[in-house]
Amino acid sequence: MNIVIDCRMMQASGIGVYLRGCLPWLIKSNNNFLLIGNKNKLNLFESNSNVKIINCNIKPFSFRELFFPLWITKEINNADVYYSPYINIPRGIKIPIYTTIHDIIFPDLPGITTKPGLAIRLWFYRRARKKSKKIFTVSQFSKSRIEHNLGTEKPVVVTNNAIQTMFLEQSENYKRILKKDTILFIGNLKRHKGLYYLLDAFKQARDEGLKHNLVIVSSKKKLRSVDNTVLKKIKSLNDGSISITGYVSDEVLIVLLASSSLLVQPSLYEGFCLPPLEAMVLGTHALISDIPVLTEVYGEFPVTFFRANDSEDLKNKMMELLVNNEVIKVKLSDELISKYSFEKTVSIILKEII
């Protein structure tokens, strides 16, 4: 079978991780692949005899995307199926289309964007539903929300997110790394990530004697679209105990995860949420909110849950875990490590496509 994969979001955060994790396992299958995207980012695959790369730097969600060059569209339509890792689909595709909708946060939390912004995003969601033969998503929670918001006329298949191979390969090298008095937060600075009430909990904990620092891993690019109340909160609390890293490479992220005493994930909404899994693979305990998707994904894992949007409960759990206690070092069983794998995810995708 000849499969086209839109790889233009290869370097995006969540979507890019998912795509980078799936691609090697897809290419190992007995199929031929046409990869569309930045050739320099895809050159590690060009030596594979079953891979052809089309260099395409048209930005996702741009006007130009709706009018792909005719020669690219022709190449696409000579294949058997087209796969997009998100909801943006160029016009003119006549072969069966499959998409992954990682979450449906905008209609679920309409306050995080403007009314025009919501209308545009709903148009893309509905267009993806209409054009897709099947929709993939990363959790049962996301499946339920997609069906709630977009209906059940198209099949929605769960293809879980998973840990990147390099995290697994590096885990043994970093499990013995010296733990620092650091609490780690990973994510953008928008309100649904819960950083606002983590900052409240952190201040209370510091007032009660917590010596740890808070390191916020968030891309500076994403700071442009943040709720300004979060930035003001950081500035008002910052006595040198809070730092924002900006973008970090996977290699640096591994070191940060492995050396931190605790990862805190205070999210109010997620589609899957990888950082707790990445932290545990590297031996670091995760303190996470008890929202439905996180209890679904991590219910069997040795994490600590706290009540979502409750800074007092979060502060108490941080103090219990970090003050006058030895740092908890996590060791996952082989069964838990294998619960989420891109090999499994790709096997489901190929079963549904072929």
- DSSP E strands: which ranges in the chain? 2-6, 32-37, 51-55, 81-84, 97-100, 132-137, 156-158, 182-186, 213-217, 242-244, 262-265, 286-289, 304-306
Answer whether residue 50 shows pLDDT above 70.
yes
Answer whether residue 226 shows pLDDT above 60.
no
Residues contacting residue 292 through CB under 8 Å, at least 6 positions apart: 141
Going along the chain from its start, the domains and CATH numbers come out as 2-162+340-353 (3.40.50.2000), 165-337 (3.40.50.2000)
Confidence band (pLDDT; 50, 70, 90) for 239? Answer: confident
Q: What mean pLDDT comes out for the span 89-93?
A: 94
115: left (phi over 0), alpha (psi -120 to 50) or beta: alpha
Answer whether residue 91 shows pLDDT above 60.
yes
Amino acid at the residue 18? Y
The alpha helices in 36-114, defined as continuous H runs, are 39-42, 70-77, 105-108
| pLDDT tens-digit readout, 258-315 | 999 999 999 999 999 999 999 999 999 999 999 999 999 999 999 999 999 999 999 9
What does the pLDDT read at residue 256? 96
The predicted model scores a pTM of: 0.92
- Token pair of 202 as six digits: 């952190």
- Check the CA dihedral 343-346-350-352 and report its sign: positive
| pLDDT tens-digit readout, 123-169 | 999 999 999 999 999 999 999 999 999 999 999 999 999 998 889 98
Q: Within 13 Å of residue 254, how many CA atoms lie on the same side as its CB? A: 18
| pLDDT tens-digit readout, 167-203 | 998 888 887 788 999 999 999 888 899 999 999 999 9
